[in-house]
């Protein structure tokens, strides 16, 4: 029998459990969003929480993202810790002004005297065959904005702990949830955190090439690493977990060991998080590199219709092609 503190959960259920723990831990924590109460959210991440904590703690809002985030900012200024759900990634843009102009800047504007502990949960990324505005990877916008923290779990255990740590943060946190992994199961240790909120980690050891990614791409990198191993190539995989700030320690240590790096993301490649990581590796581990830092990403186009997402999204084959190019130098 498994220990009581170890439970197998999907990523969505792990988020639900983490939110429940945060709500139970403080009556200042509030959840807000479209259809998150009675329905439990489109992805059922908040299922059952309104029945347990009431309509004043788990609040169904009007369909108005700017108003939702603006209200959360006002609540945070008055001592609450609101957790906002943006129903789909493409719907965050009506709230973009509130997030980047107000939420990200008010603490700085008040010289640190005012904190804004707001968490904005955003299901993001592809792989589910959704329609326009329902599959986006907007992380670069927020990682580029000073004053925001940006994180993305790739496993149920990380989801359980990272959502609680994000809610505990005194700074606003953009919490990116890889929607294609909501149904992925994994073991959750409810007794102890594995890592701090902004720590990256090596999830597979290797010696020849370092693969770096976040969110849903971590699964793709592990698939590519397994296929590469069958062909005699050893790939080390680093899960970033946090996109702002980025914990470069494990990334640079890995690259200094392998001498090669491939950075992978679903988002378009130009002016992206992957671009920043590649530049930093080249700057800080230059003398360890035996090949250029390579990037695999979505293309610089709007996210395509569902039938074409398999062409657009990086898969194990595209990652392996980059691995082969890195090894050819």
Active site residues: 134
Here the tokens at position 325 are: 């190019």
Q: Residue 139's closest CA among 241, 262, 32, 14? A: 241
3-state secondary structure of 153: coil
- Judging by DSSP bridges, how do beta strands 6-10 and 185-189 pair with one another? antiparallel
Adjacent-strand bridge partners of 121: 85, 175
Helices (H), 169-302: 217-230, 249-258, 273-284
Q: What is the CA 286 to chain-centroid distance, rounded?
A: 28
Distance, CA of 265 to CA of 126 (rounded, Å): 11
Q: Residue 177's closest CA among 136, 118, 144, 224? A: 136
- The DSSP string of 175-188 is EEEEGGGTT-EEEE
Adjacent-strand bridge partners of 294: 262
Here the tokens at position 49 are: 């929480």
Q: Residue 47's closest CA among 61, 62, 58? A: 58
- DSSP designation for 192: S
Here the tokens at position 217 are: 């791409």
CB 320 within 8 A of CB 226: no
- Judging by DSSP bridges, how do beta strands 119-124 and 81-85 pair with one another? parallel
- Alpha-carbon distance values, 187 to 10, 11, 179, 182 (Å): 9, 10, 18, 14
């Amino acid at each position: 029998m498994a220990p009581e503190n170890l439970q197998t959960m999907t990523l969505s259920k792990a988020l639900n459990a983490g939110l429940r723990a945060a709500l139970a831990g403080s009556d200042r924590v509030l959840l807000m969003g479209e259809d998150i109460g009675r329905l439990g959210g489109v992805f059922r991440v908040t299922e059952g929480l309104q029945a347990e904590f009431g309509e004043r703690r788990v609040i169904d809002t009007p369909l108005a993202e700017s108003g939702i985030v603006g209200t959360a900012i006002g609540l945070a200024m008055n001592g609450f810790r609101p957790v906002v759900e943006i129903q789909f990634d493409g719907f965050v843009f009506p709230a973009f002004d509130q997030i980047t102009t107000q939420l990200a800047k008010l603490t700085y504007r008040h010289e640190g005297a005012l904190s804004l502990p707001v968490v904005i949960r955003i299901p993001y990324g592809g792989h589910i065959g959704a329609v326009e505005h329902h599959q986006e990877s907007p992380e670069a916008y927020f990682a580029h904005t000073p004053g925001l923290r940006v994180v993305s779990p790739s496993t149920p255990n990380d989801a359980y702990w990272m959502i609680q740590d994000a809610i505990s943060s005194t700074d606003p946190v953009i919490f990116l949830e890889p929607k294609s992994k909501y149904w992925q199961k994994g073991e959750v240790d409810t007794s102890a955190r594995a890592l701090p909120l902004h720590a990256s980690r090596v999830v597979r050891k290797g010696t020849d090439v370092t693969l770096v990614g976040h969110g849903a791409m971590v699964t793709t990198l592990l698939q590519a690493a397994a296929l590469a191993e069958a062909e005699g190539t050893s790939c080390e995989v680093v899960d970033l977990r946090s996109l702002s700030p980025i914990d470069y320690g494990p990334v640079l240590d890995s690259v200094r060991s392998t001498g090669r790096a491939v950075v992978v993301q679903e988002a378009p490649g130009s002016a992206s998080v992957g671009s920043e990581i590649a530049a930093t590796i080249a700057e800080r581990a230059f003398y360890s590199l035996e090949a250029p830092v390579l990037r695999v990403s979505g293309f610089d186009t709007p996210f395509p219709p569902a039938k074409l997402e398999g062409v657009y999204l990086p898969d194990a084959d595209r990652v392996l092609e980059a691995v082969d190019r890195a090894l050819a130098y």
